[in-house]
Amino acid sequence: MAQKSLFKSFLNLFTTDSGSKSYRNISADKAISLQNEYIAANEADISRSRPPYADIINQLRSNKNEVLNAAAYYISRISRNEPSYTDEIIAELNGLLKQSRISLQNRQIIKNLIQNITPNRAE
């Protein structure tokens, strides 16, 4: 019996009688309008999104050396490839150094990272 109901469920998915009537009777103009609203909402979300380095900055707080070194590497690559973010990245890194919960080893890695990024600012 369960197989019949499962079969009927699949059958209903592929027949024209499935779904509510409001979805079947939508006009082309209404569909275009809904699509435009969806696109506009997504564009608004993109403009409010965080910069690409924000999540990586958070990884610099990690106590795991692998995560910390990978984050430092990617931050330096972003700063090299996108010079417009360099000042913001350095400000974030300096703010990270001011936090007391960062270990001494992590502080040194972040200081070295700032020194490596700073020459890129002149380019």
Q: Distance between CA atoms of 99 and 2, rounded to whole angstroms?
A: 60
Ranges under pLDDT 50 in the chain = 1-2, 16-18, 123
| pLDDT for the residue 121 | 57
Q: Distance between CA atoms of 17 and 24, rounded to whole angstroms?
A: 9
The answer as to whether 24 is a domain residue is no
Domain span at residue 114?
54-122
| pLDDT for the residue 1 | 46
The answer as to whether 19 is a domain residue is no
Q: Is the pTM of this model over 0.85?
A: no
The answer as to whether 68 is a domain residue is yes
| pLDDT for the residue 84 | 86
The answer as to whether 83 is a domain residue is yes
The answer as to whether 110 is a domain residue is yes
Domain count, the chain: 1
The answer as to whether 9 is a domain residue is no
The answer as to whether 107 is a domain residue is yes
Q: Distance between CA atoms of 87 and 53, rounded to whole angstroms?
A: 12
| pLDDT for the residue 41 | 78
The answer as to whether 64 is a domain residue is yes
